[in-house]
Structure formats: structure tokens, C-alpha cells
């Protein structure tokens, strides 16, 4: 059965570098067409901030630059002060990134090449790191392997082991070093510089394994970031695949038909869509009658009758009959194409996800480097102390200040949280999405396939002449050979029976046939009216209030009875809503393309606060934007494609994984793979516990480092004490993070 659902588009995915305060501008909000460049390495908001610093001033300001992080695309608008392309490329290169003029044909290949390069360097770093560790364990045994930070005791580390770790450092830092150098030249320390400083400090002190571990982990985080952004990019592109590439167009004289690319169909052209085919373009029905599945666009849970004069949308499915349609929009201007563009715009204007470690690093890095220089220089100059002693103390400070524990604590916590989530049937697409549910204040949720199961069932049987069993047998006999969702529900409820004879489908009305020698029919209220039979007003109001679908059954002279079909509400939906309210979610809203009586009946049953029904995609976006103006963190849950723009506009998108569309699962930030909506409260609790663990780790690491920094300043700390403290803190935060694996 078609699902109303909604989903999802991914947000810009950042990992370790997304602590920048920069906001990613919305290209849709900027006027003018400009020159676009493909920027390799443009993965998150920090790169946006860097590019703004080196370009914006000479272009007239940041308003003349636009960025699409999902596609690694930078646009200089026509309103900017002129700058030659070669100069733009040179300035981008000075940041450690690389740029080339945008080419739609090569963009996908460029994305793949960049990710492949990152993977290669990360795999090489991992390989040499593992080789060095294995060699160490061979030389020292298992016990020595467990204490690798202490090296080989009084025996120098073998040159082979040093070489392996140095190679791991080289490949791990290769793609980061140019960015770190650019950061140093601009006197704007960032996480890249912090990592390089930490690695160099560890190498100077002979802690090659520690240096290699930091380099490898950082390279891995950047590779995972690029991979997740690539998944998002592919999912957005897949939206356009809903519309067929060709249309069967009737010639102007009406004598011939020809399949031509949909992009070449002009407004006013007439094309044909056969039963079961997707509609290639928006248009108006000229002739024919058929029920159309509009779920990809409007989210309606039932197929909609289309007759001459009715509007149809590209990407929707013609269920039966043949429709002759006049194109009303070109392929690039259909509702589906607009949805895809809205998804891209929503990605571009999303705020960056700030990570505590990276934000703190902007202060921590220059402070530590300055303090080390102070300790090395001031005591000898001012107090006449020995230079060697205080240079040694400065190096001790660099060891204890090495961000190994800080760098490791957050990713280990995130990985443990992701693993525990997957074990519990909740697929979280990256570390950026672990934090957001902990701050959830408002939830938007669609109806069909999410709050409901997306499959209709018989709620009641109203018999007027026949008994219930006989009425159901007539209905099943008429519908047993149909694949319509309502027909399947009737047959499932009534059980198997012999099919009716001489059945005939009346498009948009119902079905007729002969059962036990008499003519019978089944269909809509309109069908009953055309038969000269009226359904009692009281029953119609009752069904409407309950949000049910009415199916009438009759013969030549009588209305035999009515079947009430209703989309089944998930059994855990009410408990889920109640738990979310108890957890502090202030507002839960239903956004649906379905009719208002049905939506309100479902919302009232499960305890949803507010209902917005009969919405098109752009209206759902407006509803989400309204929520984001009032509430800090807004999530949306759904299971289809039609709400993709609204999902992209929300702070986090959650898909019903198993029944959701492929696009939903690919593009959602989080997917409930077991379709258990009751896991939403668990997700909120899990996110909050994860953030508590991360704060504990960061607090413990910083407190320990502050203590040793003080001891170092007083000349009371030793190199071995600093190394032991650093290793101890690293092990402690990792052990604390691994507690998340026990989450159930």
C-alpha cells in the first residue's frame, strides 16, 4: 500500500571539524547567477569559514559567496567584485583545499576520487599502525604489547618499529598537514593544527605509537565524514529517479505516438500514461479515468481518482486505465523537481553541529602553545634558571597537553553509542546525529506507515439485509483477484472464497460481478449513489469522524451493507507519545497529506498535540520552519519521499526503516530498522546518556591536564609522570566510553 510518509533528507554531515561558528549560507537566499567551483575537501562548516576568510573580503563580503556542502560546491555570485578564476583557485589552494571550475559531468567522478584518496591514505595509516603494534608485541610479548606506551623500557625502540609508526603518521597526517599549515600561517589554530602539534610533540619525545594512533584516528574520522556526505548526496540525486526519463508523446496531428526524453517535452504537449506506469511530467488529464497513487508527492494514503480536468504530478503512479495528459510544466519545473531543489537548499542553510572538543580547541591550542613557550623561555631569562631544565618542562607540558585523551574520548564514545544503537535496531548514520536527540524539544511526525502501520484493516461490518458472514463472502468474491490494498484487507478479513463470475472493474467507482447467480457490486459512496442507493447520513458522519474509508456492497435493488476500513494504529504509538512528553518533548505535531477527519481521529487516539492535514511538501516545510522558530531542536519522523524537503529543514530526520522507501533509509539521519516506533524514547535516553559520558570524559581529561600543567609550571612534573598520566587518562576515558555498549 502506498505510504504517506516522509523522508528524509540528510543534513550536512560533519564529524571532527564541525565546531566552527560559521553558518553555511543558503544559496537559494542569494540573488544572481555566478561561477561555481568544485572544492575538494569541502565537507563541513569549518571549510566554509576558512574559504570566507580568504575570499570574501576581496569579493565584497560573504553575501557574494554561496556554498553547497553536500555537493562540495562554491559559487561566486555575479554581484561580487570581479576576481579571475585562476586567482580564486590559487587562494583556495592556500587553505590546503583544491578547487576547479564546476562541471556537472565530472562532479560525481571528482567526489568519488576524493573519497578514494582519503580511504587509501587512511588504510595505509591503519596498516602501518597495526604492523608496528604487531611487531612490538612480537618483540615484547603479550604483556609488553599491553603497555606499549611505555615503549621497550631501557631498550631503545627498534628502528623497524619506529619506521612503521612513522609511516602510519605520514599517511595519517598527509591530507591534514596542508590545512594545519594554512591555519598556522593565518594565526587561526584549529583541530587540524592541534592534531599536527600533538603528533609532532609525541614524535619529539619518542612516543611514536601515541603519535601514530592520533594521526590514524583523525584520518579515519575525516574519511567517515566524507563517506556520509557522499551518501547524502547520492540520495538527493535519487529523488529525480522517481520520474521516468521518457514520455510517450502524441504527435500534433494525433496520428502517431513516440517515446521521447521527458526533458524535451514542451508545455502543451499531449502524452499517454498506461496503467501501472509512473507519470513523467506534471499535467492535466485530457481523457481517461484512473486511480493514481500520489503518495510520493502528497502523502495521501489512498489512491485518488483522476478524470478529465484533474491535475496529476510527475513521479506519481497511474494505478489503472490509460490517461491522456497535457503537460503543464517542463521536466525541470515539476513539483518533484522543486522538491529536489528544496532538499538541496535545506542542506545548504542548515546550521553546523558544534562539537565541544573542537570549539574548546580554538582556545586550548594557542593557550597550550603559548604556555609551553612561556615555560621554556621566561624562567631562564627572568630568573636565570637552566635552559635545559625548562625546555624539558615545556616538552613535558606538550606531552600532557597532547589531546590524545580528548581526541580519542569523543569518537570512542560515539562509536560505542552507534554500536549499541545498531544492536537495538536503531541505525544512526553518524556521530553528528547521536547528540541531537538529547536536546529534542519538538517532534513532527507523519501518519501512514509511521503512527499507523500503512495497511488498512476492516474496523466494522454493517449488514442491512445479509448477515455479516454472507456480506463478507460477497465482498471477498468480488475482490479476491484484485491487488488493491483495500481489496487485500477485505480478503484477509473474510477468508478465501470462490471468485465472482463476470467481474468488471468500473474505474474510480468499484467492481461488479455475479455471485451465486445474482448481480452484486462493491465500491464507493459515489458508486452507490449512481446505483440509486443512498447511505444513511448518520453512518456517513460516524465513519467520517473516525477517519475511516467506507466501502458499500449491494445488488440490483438493495444496499446490502457497509464495510468500515481503517489504517491500523501501531500498538505502541500511544505509549511512545506519552513517554516523549514525559522526557520533556514540549510539542508533538502530525504533518500529513491525508484528509483532516482521518488525521484528527488518529491524533486523538494516540495523544498527539496538534494536527496539520492535507499538506503538500512546501506546506510541510513551512510547518517545520514555524516549529524551528519556537523550539530549539525539531525532529521529523516518516517513511517515504514526499516529505523530503520538510525532513531536510528539520534538525534531524528519522525513518521507519523496514517499510520505508529506499530513499528514506538512504537519506535519513536515523532509521528505526525494526519499524518499532516505540524506540524513539529509547533513542532520546541513549543520546542523553552518550552526551553524559562524553562530558565526563572531557571533564576528566581536562582536569588531569590542568593539574599536570600546574605541576609542570612549578617544575614538579616529570616526563614519565606526564606520559603515565596521559596514558592513564586515555585508558580511563576509553573504558568509560565502552560502558555505552551495554545499553539496552
Of 274, 280, 258, 269, the closest CA to residue 323 belongs to 274
Q: Rounded to the nearest 5°, which phi and psi values hold at 258?
A: -150, 135
Of 687, 638, 645, the closest CA to residue 665 belongs to 638
CB 352 within 8 A of CB 45: yes
Of 116, 112, 124, the closest CA to residue 215 belongs to 124
Q: Is the C-alpha dihedral spanning 727, 730, 733, 736 positive or negative? A: negative
Q: State which H helix or E strand residue 10 sits in.
A: none
User: Chain centroid to CA 103: how far?
Assistant: 26
**Separation between Cα atoms, residue 620 and residue 444, nearest integer Å:** 10
DSSP string covering 74-130, please? EEEETTSPP--HHHHHHHHHTTT-EEEE--HHHHHHHHHHHHHHHHHHHHHHHHHHH
CA distances from 661 to 556, 658, 665 (A): 43, 8, 7
Cell of 195: 592534531
Q: Rounded to the nearest 5°, which phi and psi values hold at 33?
A: -95, 145
- The rounded radius of gyration (Å) of the Cα atoms in the chain is 32
- Burial level of 84, CB count in 10 A (0-12/13-18/19+)? exposed
**Separation between Cα atoms, residue 621 and residue 344, nearest integer Å:** 13
CA distances from 575 to 435, 599, 700 (A): 24, 18, 38
Q: What is the DSSP letter of 553?
A: E
* Residue located via cell numbers 565541544: 356
Question: How many CB atoms sit inside 10 A of residue 520's CB?
Answer: 21
**Separation between Cα atoms, residue 568 and residue 605, nearest integer Å:** 11
Q: Print burial letters for 229-259: b (CB count within 10 Å at least 16), e (below 16).
A: bbebbbbbebbbebbbeebbbbeeeeeeeee
Question: How many CB atoms sit inside 10 A of residue 109's CB?
Answer: 10
- Is 669 catalytic? The answer is no
CA distances from 685 to 57, 202, 375, 417 (A): 45, 38, 45, 11
* Residue located via cell numbers 528524509: 8
13 three-state secondary structure = coil
CB 9 within 8 A of CB 342: no
**Separation between Cα atoms, residue 42 and residue 579, nearest integer Å:** 40
**Separation between Cα atoms, residue 389 and residue 386, nearest integer Å:** 5
Q: Which of 43, 68, 446, 594 is catalytic?
A: 446
**Separation between Cα atoms, residue 725 and residue 720, nearest integer Å:** 8
* Residue located via cell numbers 509511521: 450
Cell of 149: 606506551
Q: State which H helix or E strand residue 293 sits in.
A: strand 290-293
β-bridge pairing 270-273 and 304-306: unpaired
Q: Print burial letters for 32-59: b (CB count within 10 Å at least 16), e (below 16).
A: eebebbbbbbbbbbbbbbbbbebbeeeb
HSE of 45, CA atoms in CB hemisphere, 13 A: 27
Report, as residue numbers or ranges, the catalytic residues: 446
Amino acid at each position: 500500500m502506498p505510504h504517506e510518509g516522509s523522508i528524509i533528507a540528510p543534513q550536512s554531515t560533519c564529524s571532527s571539524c564541525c565546531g566552527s561558528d560559521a553558518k553555511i549560507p543558503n544559496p537559494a537566499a542569494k540573488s544572481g547567477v555566478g561561477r561555481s567551483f568544485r572544492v575538494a575537501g569541502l565537507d563541513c562548516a569549518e571549510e566554509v569559514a576558512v574559504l570566507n576568510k580568504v575570499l570574501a573580503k576581496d569579493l565584497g563580503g560573504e553575501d557574494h559567496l554561496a556554498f553547497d556542502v553536500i555537493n562540495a560546491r562554491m559559487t561566486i555570485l555575479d554581484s561580487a567584485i570581479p576576481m579571475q578564476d585562476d586567482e580564486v583557485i590559487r587562494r583556495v589552494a592556500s587553505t590546503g583545499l583544491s578547487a576547479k571550475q564546476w562541471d556537472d559531468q565530472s562532479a560525481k567522478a571528482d567526489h568519488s576520487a576524493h573519497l578514494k584518496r582519503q580511504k587509501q591514505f587512511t588504510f595505509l595509516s591503519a596498516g602501518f599502525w597495526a604492523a608496528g603494534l604487531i611487531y612490538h608485541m612480537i618483540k615484547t610479548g603479550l604483556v609488553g604489547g599491553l603497555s606499549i606506551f611505555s615503549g621497550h623500557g631501557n631498550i631503545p625502540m627498534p628502528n623497524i618499529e619506529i619506521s612503521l609508526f612513522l609511516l602510519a603518521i605520514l599517511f595519517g597526517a598527509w591530507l591534514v598537514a596542508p590545512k594545519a599549515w594554512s591555519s598556522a600561517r593565518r594565526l587561526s589554530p584549529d583541530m587540524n593544527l592541534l592534531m599536527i602539534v600533538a603528533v609532532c610533540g609525541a614524535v619529539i619525545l619518542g612516543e611514536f605509537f601515541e603519535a601514530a594512533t592520533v594521526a590514524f584516528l583523525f584520518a579515519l574520522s575525516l574519511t567517515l565524514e566524507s563517506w556520509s556526505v557522499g551518501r547524502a548526496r547520492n540520495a538527493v540525486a535519487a529523488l529525480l529517479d522517481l520520474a521516468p526519463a521518457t514520455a510517450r508523446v502524441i504527435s500534433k496531428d494525433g496520428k502517431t505516438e513516440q517515446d521521447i526524453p521527458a526533458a524535451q517535452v514542451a508545455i502543451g504537449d499531449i502524452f499517454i500514461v498506461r496503467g501501472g506506469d509512473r507519470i513523467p511530467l506534471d499535467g492535466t488529464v485530457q481523457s481517461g479515468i484512473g486511480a493514481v497513487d500520489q503518495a510520493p508527492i502528497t502523502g495521501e494514503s489512498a489512491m485518488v481518482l483522476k478524470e478529465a480536468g484533474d491535475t496529476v504530478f510527475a513521479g506519481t503512479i497511474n494505478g489503472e486505465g490509460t490517461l491522456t495528459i497535457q503537460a503543464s510544466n517542463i521536466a525541470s519545473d515539476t513539483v518533484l523537481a522543486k522538491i529536489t531543489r528544496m532538499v538541496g537548499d535545506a542542506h545548504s542553510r542548515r546550521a553546523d553541529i558544534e562539537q565541544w572538543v573542537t570549539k574548546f580547541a580554538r582556545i586550548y591550542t594557542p593557550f597550550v602553545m603559548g604556555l609551553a613557550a612561556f615555560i621554556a623561555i621566561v624562567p631562564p631569562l627572568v630568573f636565570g634558571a637552566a635552559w635545559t631544565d625548562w625546555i624539558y618542562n615545556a616538552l613535558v607540558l606538550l606531552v600532557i597537553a597532547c589531546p590524545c585523551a580528548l581526541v580519542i574520548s569523543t569518537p570512542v564514545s560515539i562509536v560505542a553509542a552507534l554500536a549499541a544503537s545498531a544492536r537495538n535496531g536503531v541505525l544512526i548514520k553518524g556521530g553528528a546525529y547521536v547528540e541531537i536527540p538529547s536536546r529534542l524539544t519538538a517532534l513532527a511526525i507523519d501518519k501512514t506507515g509511521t503512527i499507523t502501520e500503512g495497511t488498512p484493516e476492516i474496523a466494522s461490518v454493517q449488514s442491512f439485509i445479509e448477515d455479516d458472514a454472507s456480506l463478507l463472502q460477497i465482498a471477498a468474491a468480488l475482490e479476491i483477484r484484485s491487488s488493491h490494498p483495500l481489496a487485500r484487507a477485505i480478503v484477509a478479513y473474510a477468508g478465501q472464497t470462490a471468485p465472482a463470475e463476470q467481474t468488471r472493474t468500473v474505474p474510480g467507482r468499484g467492481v461488479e460481478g455475479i455471485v451465486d447467480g445474482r448481480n452484486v457490486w462493491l465500491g464507493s459512496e459515489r458508486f452507490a449513489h449512481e446505483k440509486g442507493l443512498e447511505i444513511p447520513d448518520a453512518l456517513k458522519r460516524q465513519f467520517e469522524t473516525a477517519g475511516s474509508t467506507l466501502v458499500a456492497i449491494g445488488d440490483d435493488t438493495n444496499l446490502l451493507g457497509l464495510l468500515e476500513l481503517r489504517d491500523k494504529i501501531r500498538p505502541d504509538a500511544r505509549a511512545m507519545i506519552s513517554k516523549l512528553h514525559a522526557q520533556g518533548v514540549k510539542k508533538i505535531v502530525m504533518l500529513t497529506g491525508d484528509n483532516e477527519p482521518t488525521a484528527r481521529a488518529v491524533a486523538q487516539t494516540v495523544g498527539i498535540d496538534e494536527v496539520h492535514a492535507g499538506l503538500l511538501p512546501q506546506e510541510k516545510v513551512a510547518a517545520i520552519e514555524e516549529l524551528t522558530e519556537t523550539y530549539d531542536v525539531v525532529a521529523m519522523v516518516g517513511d517515504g519521499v514526499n516529505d523530503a524537503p520538510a525532513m531536510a529543514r528539520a534538525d534531524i530526520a528519522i525513518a521507519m526503516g523496514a517499510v520505508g522507501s529506499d530513499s528514506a533509509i538512504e537519506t535519513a539521519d536515523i532509521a528505526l530498522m525494526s519499524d518499532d516506533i516505540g524506540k524513539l524514547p529509547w533513542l532520546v535516553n541513549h543520546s542523553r546518556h552518550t552526551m553524559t559520558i562524553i562530558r565526563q570524559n572531557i571533564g576528566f581529561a581536562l582536569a588531569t591536564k590542568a593539574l599536570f600543567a600546574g605541576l609542570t609550571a612549578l617544575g614538579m612534573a616529570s616526563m614519565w609522570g606526564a606520559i603515565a598520566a596521559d596514558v592513564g587518562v586515555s585508558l580511563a576515558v576509553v573504558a568509560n566510553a565502552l560502558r555505552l555498549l551495554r545499553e539496552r
